[in-house]
Amino acid sequence: MGEVPEFIDLRSDTVTLPTDEMLEAIKHAELGDDVFREDPTVNTLEEMAAKTLGKDAALLVTSGTQANLISLMSNTKRGDMVLLEAESHIYWYEVGAISAVAGLMPWPIKSALGALDPERIQAALRPKNIHFPDTTLICIENTHNRHGGTVITPRQIEAISEIAKTNDLKLYMDGARIFNAAVALKTDVKKLSKHVDNLMFCLSKGLSCPVGSIVVGEAEFIEKARKTRKILGGGMRQAGIIAAPGIIALEKMISRLEEDHKNARALAEGLAETTGVEVELRNVQTNIVYFDVHTLGITSEEIVSKLKENGVLALTLDKNIVRMVTHLGIEKVHIDRTLNAVEDIARKL
């Protein structure tokens, strides 16, 4: 049982800290200039990532947002239209880079739990016409952040892929938490990557690395992405200090994600039993928990403030919804303390 920290930080799995083994790996990493492709640690990580995801090649980048932007730019040309889920991270949280930097027109499509309906995709496609932009890319997100960490299954991805192929479109996956999806489905991650042209995943979320994401795809695509990374100022030199913990993450940190999922489920079930708190338990499939506090007569910002006074950090989704995310360092004792804090606040209200 872990020691209870001053704050129980449930804001995101981005707050994870590298393990001692990762820190040692950083200290002893063999280094070179990655722009010249001479950093052996980076090369090892990229080869490992490509193999793990069943693709030709991979590219280390600075962040998930940069990975998405590089991939958008490398899959399209300026002025193209991109179909994506209406609550997707690319659409909501990346400062409008899809338009401001990539010069693309996003076309959001609503879904029930984050998985695009192939029929809605087909309906959104415009005919070839001088008045319309060319639609060249479909983006999906797995797991889906704003839908509560929900999972898109291999069968669902394959159905979307068929629409993409039929209409000569590329299919890209924002797989920031793709390993959470694979663990939740108890399947090889290759089954989730098989039917997409390219994807990315984050090292710095549940895998607990201090920084970095990986773009994965066909060799030709990765070569283009490498040059796009350089355009965006993402060419790094002795980047092995970032890659070293990534190697350990792929070797040792994936299977332990199940612990985060169990803690999230325990948190969600405890919240659901709290008077005045509403939780959609069917949406709690991985390590993200959203709960609604409108019945308490309090806003999400107000309850987040009260939770902080009780030593618990969380985020808001909107006026009524609070978000909590489990990760390395969060154990049962922290879940129990968090539930006690919420129950105490609810009881007083």
User: Encoding tokens for residue 268?
Assistant: 């969600």
Q: What is the pLDDT of residues 131-152, one digit of tens each?
A: 999 999 999 999 999 999 999 9
Determine the structural domain holding residue 218 and report its residue range: 31-253
- Same domain? For 264 and 194 the reply is no
Q: Which residues pair with 316 in a beta bridge?
A: 322
Percent of the chain residues past pLDDT 70, beyond the cut: 99
Q: Residue 349 has what pLDDT?
A: 87
If asked whether residues 277 and 339 sit together in one domain, one would say yes
Q: Are 349 and 276 in contact (CB under 8 A)?
A: yes
Alpha helices in 204-331 (DSSP H): 219-231, 240-248, 257-272, 300-309
Q: What is the pLDDT of residue 4?
A: 46
Angle ∠(262,157,174) on CA atoms, nearest 5:
70
How does pLDDT run across 213-262, given as a tens digit for each residue?
999 999 999 999 999 999 999 999 999 999 999 999 999 999 999 999 99
Q: Look at residue 5 in the predicted model and tell me its pLDDT.
A: 52
> Which residues does 329 contact at the CB level (< 8 Å), separation at least 6?
2, 5, 9, 16, 17
Looking up residue 294, the CATH number of its domain turns out to be: 3.90.1150.10
Same-domain status, 310 and 322: yes
**Domain total in the chain:** 2
199 and 336 in a single domain? The answer is no
CATH number for the domain including 203? 3.40.640.10
| Contact of 183 with 150, CB cutoff 8 Å | no
If asked whether residues 318 and 226 sit together in one domain, one would say no
Residue with tokens 């607990």: 208
CA dist., res. 10 & res. 328, Å (int) = 11
231 and 326 belong to one structural domain? no
From first to last of its 349 residues, the chain has per-residue pLDDT tens of 345 458 999 999 999 999 999 999 999 999 999 999 999 999 999 999 999 999 999 999 999 999 999 999 999 999 999 999 999 999 999 999 999 999 999 999 999 999 999 999 999 999 999 999 999 999 999 999 999 999 999 999 999 999 999 999 999 999 999 999 999 999 999 999 999 999 999 999 999 999 999 999 999 999 999 999 999 999 999 999 999 999 999 999 999 999 999 999 999 999 999 999 999 999 999 999 999 999 999 999 999 999 999 999 999 999 999 999 999 999 999 999 999 999 999 999 8
Give domain status of residue 270, yes or no. yes
At 110, is the secondary structure helix, strand, or coil? coil
Could you tell me if 182 and 217 lie in one domain?
yes
Residues 200, 260 within the same domain: no
Whether residue 23 is contained in a domain is answered as: no
What pLDDT was estimated at residue 2? 45
